[in-house]
Amino acid sequence: MTDDLIDRLAAHLKPVRYMAMQRQLIGALLLSGVLAIVAMLMLLGMRPDMQTAAVTMIYWTKFSYTLALALLGLAATLVLARPGGRTRWPWLAAVALVALLVVLAVIQLARADDMMPMIMGSSIIRSLTYIPILSLPVLLASMLALRRMAPTRPALAGFAAGIMAGSTGAWIYAFACTETGMMFLALWYTLAILIVGAVGAVFGRFFLRW
């Protein structure tokens, strides 16, 4: 019986490309990312003052904070997609990144005349709604890709994919977001990303079992 199985498997052998796993995950991320960008343009549109915003510190902070978190999520997902994969440094780096942003935010607050707009902004609900929505394409695509891989810690792999998706969604949302407070970014963007991470963990727990 096992011999029959071996015969059948050997008969269906197809060569595996070099770095096939990385190609699939990164390909899924890029394709679904483009879809999310189109969704952002249709649902929200670019912020009207993009020209002037593109030279501000806060815009580039948003841009690089979310992009760095997305890359750390990708790095963790790539490790956890393999059987027995363990991650440590991507999580430590992510925590360090959040801590760094909080420090910058406190410095910005200390210089501000009025703190509250820097913290609460005017679009908390909007951010907490649209970041998860714009994360959905990447979340679904990375889950589908991971299903064909071998995560032996499905919930953690799902969480990593969720952080990657949430950060990508936040990076895309940042093109439409006019908030200027770093603390707003540190609190609400991070919260939105963590929500997507939690959704990914729950997804992974049930959807990535094999």
Partner 1 sequence: MQADPTEMRLRELMLASLDGDAAAYRKLLADLGKHLRPYFTRRLTPAFASHAEDLVQETLLAIHTRRMTYDRNRPFTAWLHAIAHHKFVDHVRRQSIRLTVPLEDDAPILAHDDNTDAVARRDLDAVLDNVPTRTSDLIRRTKIDGASVAEAAAAHGMTETAAKVSIHRGLKALAARFAGGPK
Closest CA to 29 of 171, 206, 152: 171
Whichever of 18 and 114 has its CB closer to partner 1, that residue is 18
Distance CA(163)–CA(159), nearest Å, equals 6
CB-based contact 115:109 (threshold 8 Å): yes
Closest CA to 101 of 20, 170, 43, 198: 170
Name the minimum Å distance from CB 146 to partner 1.
10
Chain Cα centroid distance, residue 208: 18
Of 12 and 88, the one with the shorter C-beta distance to partner 1 is 12
- Distance, in Å, from the CA atom of 58 to the CA atom of 179, rounded to the nearest integer, reads 9
Q: For binding to partner 1 (CB under 8 A), which residues are involved?
A: 1-3, 5-7, 9-16, 18, 20-21, 24, 81-84, 148-150, 152, 209-210
SS3 content of the chain, % helix, strand, coil (to 5): 75, 0, 25
Residue with smaller CB distance to partner 1, 10 or 42 = 10
Q: How far is residue 172 CA from its own chain's centroid? A: 10
Minimum distance from CB of 1 to partner 1 (Å)? 7
Min dist CB 93 to partner 1, Å, is 21
How many whole angstroms separate alpha carbon 172 and alpha carbon 67? Answer: 9
CB of 12 to partner 1, least distance (A): 8
Q: Judged by CB, which is closer to partner 1: 87, or 108?
A: 87
Nearer to partner 1, 158 or 181 (CB): 158
Nearest distance, CB of residue 174 and partner 1, angstroms? 33
**If you write DSSP's letter for every residue of 36-66 in order, what string do you get?**
HHHHHHHHT---TTHHHHTTSHHHHHHHHHH
At closest approach, how far in Å is the CB of 134 from partner 1? Answer: 29
Of residues 206 and 210, the one with the C-beta less far from partner 1: 210
